Amino acid sequence: MGSESYWLDSAPAFTSAQRGAVEGQVDVVVVGGGLTGLSAARALAMKGASVVVLEAAQVIGEASGRNGGQCNTGIAQDFGAMAASRGVDQARAFYQAYADAVTSVQQIIEQEQIACDFSRNGKLKLAAKPQHVAGMEKTCELIRREVDADVAMLSREEVRSEVQSDQFHAGLLQRHGIQMHVGKFGVGLAEAAVRHGAVIYENAAVTGWQKQADGYRVDTARGQIRARQLLMATGASQVGPLNWYRRRMAPVGSFIIVTEPMAAERLQALLPMQRSYVTSRIIGNYFRITGDNRLLFGGRARFAMSNPRSDALSGEVLKKAMTEMFPQLAGVRPAYCWGGLVDMTADRLPRAGEHEGIYYSMGYSGHGVQMSTHMGLVMAEVMGGNAAANPWRELSWPAIPGHFGKPWFLPLVGAYYRLQDHLH
C-alpha cells in the first residue's frame, strides 16, 4: 500500500519551476505554492504584475494535494447554528462565499482547459443517527429560504437508493458541488500561472523577511528577492518563521485511503449518483469515487499530526470504518493511505487580510480546495486596493490560548468530540 497521496502520485509532473538562484525585484512575492498561492499568482500575473512564488518543497505538495478533491457549498459549521450565533445576514454571506468559490474553481478549469476528471454531481450529507434528522431538516429549510433554493432533504429510502449502506437515516442534498482530480488541477493551475507570466521556485523555503522603504526583502534557502508586496499563503505549514500565523491555527491531521481500482459496475451499484458524501458526525467520514474507479474514503480518523506511523494507524481506522459502512467491500484492499495537515481555526472560518503590511489568506479548516483557489483570486483584488472583495475582512483573529505552535491539545479535543458524537 502506497503512503503517498494518490493525487500527487497520479498527477503529471510540474515541469516549469524556475532553476537557479532566487534573486531580483518584483511586484509581488507569494509565499506558498499551494492552491491559494498558485491562484493568486495567476490572477496577479493576468493583471500585469510581476510575481514570484516561493515554495518550500513542491507545488501542491501539502494540504492542496492531500485532500478529498471535492468542492462544495456550505460552511464548515451548521448553517442554522451560524445564523443563530452571527445572524442570518452573516451566515448568508459566508454561505454565498463558498458557492462563489465552487464557481471560481469551475471557471478556472474551463478557462485554462485543465484536464482533471471534473464532474458536477453535488454533495449529500448523510444523517448518521436518527436524532440528526430533525436538525438537518431545519437546516435544509433555513438554507432553502435564505440562500439556496436548490437544496433538498432525502428520506431514508431515497438515501438508500443512492448509498448502498444501512447506516444512514436521511440526507441533505446540495447540488452546487463539484469534484475533480486535485493533483491534475493543481499542476494545471501552476502551469497556467507560469503561462501568464508568474515565476515559481520549488525547494525555496523562506527563512525570513525584512521591511524596507520600498517593500520587503525576502530571504530564502536559494537567495534573496525584493518585492513591493508580500502574500502569505502557507496554510498549516510547519516550515519557516510563521509563528504569528501558527498560533492562530491548529494543524489537525486528516487522513485518506483510496482503494485499488474496481469494476465500474460495482461502484455504480454502490454509489449510483457518484456524488461527494459526508456523514453528520463531528468525527465523521467523507467518500467519493475517483475518475479511474477507486473509492476514496477519508476523515479525521485520529486527532493527531500526520507522520508515517500516524498515517498507517489512521489507515486501519479508516479501512474498518469503510467496511462497516459497506460490508460488501470487505475484501477490497486500500492501494493508498496518506495524511495531511488541515489549517483549523478556532471557529472553523477562514482568515484573510493584512497584518503589519503583509497580506495573508489561510485557515480553511477542511474546506479548502474551493476556498483556497477562490481566495487567491480575491487576494489579487484586495492587493490591488479592493478590500471589500474579501468576505472574511471583518473577522478578528486572536491567538488560540495556550497554543505556541505545537498542538499539545489535540488529544483533548479529539476526546471531547468523540464524547459529543457518543452523546448526540
Distance from the first to the final alpha carbon of the chain: 35
- Domain-located, residue 190: yes
pLDDT tens per residue, range 161-194: 999 999 999 999 999 999 999 999 999 999 999 9
Residue 312 CB-density burial (10 A; 0-12 exposed, 13-18 middle, 19+ buried) = middle
Per-residue pLDDT, 1: 72
CB-based contact 276:68 (threshold 8 Å): yes
> What local confidence, expressed as pLDDT, does residue 424 receive?
72
- Asked if 53 and 198 count as a contact pair (C-beta separation under 8 A), the reply is yes
**In contact, 67 and 340? CB cutoff 8 Å:** yes
DSSP 284: -
Domain total of the chain: 1
pLDDT of residue 52: 99
Does residue 266 carry a pLDDT above 80? yes
208 pLDDT higher than 70: yes
Per-residue pLDDT at 10 exceeds 90: yes
Residue at 424 is within a domain: no
Query: Can you tell me the mean pLDDT for 113-120?
Result: 98
Instruction: Kindly indicate the confidence band of residue 301, based on its pLDDT and cuts at 50, 70 and 90.
Output: low
Which residue blocks in 78-178 are alpha helix, DSSP H? 79-86, 88-112, 132-146, 156-162
User: What is the Cα–Cα distance from 23 to 56, expressed in whole angstroms?
Assistant: 16
CB 251 within 8 A of CB 407: yes
Identify residue 366 by its one-letter amino acid code. Answer: G
Asked if the structure places residue 106 within a domain, the reply is yes
Whole-model pTM: value is 0.96
pLDDT at 409 over 80: no
Residue 32 pLDDT level (bands cut at 50, 70, 90): very high
pLDDT, mean of residues 12-27: 98
Q: 145 lies in which domain range?
A: 6-414
Task: Give me the percent of the chain exceeding a pLDDT of 90.
Answer: 84
**pLDDT for the residue numbered 303:** 62
CATH number at residue 338: 3.50.50.60
Q: Which of the four pLDDT bands, split at 50, 70 and 90, describes residue 422?
A: low
Domain-located, residue 420: no
- Summarised one tens digit per residue, pLDDT across range 360-387 is 999 999 999 999 999 999 999 999 999 9
- The share of the chain scoring above pLDDT 70, in percent, equals 98
Average pLDDT over residues 249-272: 96
Domain assignment of residue 170, yes or no: yes
pLDDT class of 420 with cuts at 50, 70, 90: confident
- The whole-number pLDDT of residue 360 equals 99
Residue 1 forms part of a structural domain? no
- The pLDDT value given to residue 283: 80
Q: List beta partners, residue 173.
A: 124, 152
pLDDT of residue 30: 99
Please report the pLDDT score of residue 302 as a whole number: 63
Pure H helices in 326-409: 368-383
Q: Strands 25-31, 151-154: parallel, antiparallel or unpaired by DSSP?
A: unpaired
Could you tell me if residue 134 is inside a domain? yes
The backbone torsions φ and ψ at residue 153, rounded to the nearest 5 degrees and listed phi first, read -90, 135
Find residue 80's DSSP bridge partners: none
Q: Which of 94, 84, 91, 121 is nearest to 106 (CA)?
A: 121
Quick one: which of 383, 345, 303, 334 has its CA closest to 40?
Answer: 383
- Judged against a pLDDT cut of 90, whether residue 416 lies above it is answered with no
Determine the average pLDDT of the residues in 99-103: 97
CA 137/CA 132 separation, integer angstroms? 9
CB atoms within 10 A of CB 409: 15
Mean pLDDT taken over the chain? 94
b/e map of 76-93 (b: 16 or more CB within 10 Å)? bbbbbebbeebebeebbe
Residue 308 within a domain? yes
- Virtual torsion, Cα 409, 410, 411, 417, nearest 10 deg: 110
Residue 406, pLDDT > 80, answer: no
d(C-alpha 140, C-alpha 143), whole Å:
5
Residues in the chain: 424
How far is 316 from 305, CA to CA, in rounded Å? Answer: 16
Lowest mean pLDDT, pick from 12-16, 31-35, 300-304? 300-304
CB-based burial of residue 136 (10 Å sphere; 0-12 exposed, 13-18 middle, 19+ buried)?
Answer: buried
Instruction: Using pLDDT thresholds of 50, 70 and 90, give the confidence band for residue 404.
Output: confident
Give per-residue pLDDT as tens, 317-358: 999 999 999 999 999 999 999 999 899 999 999 999 999 999
Q: Residue 344 and residue 360: Cα distance in Å, rounded? A: 15
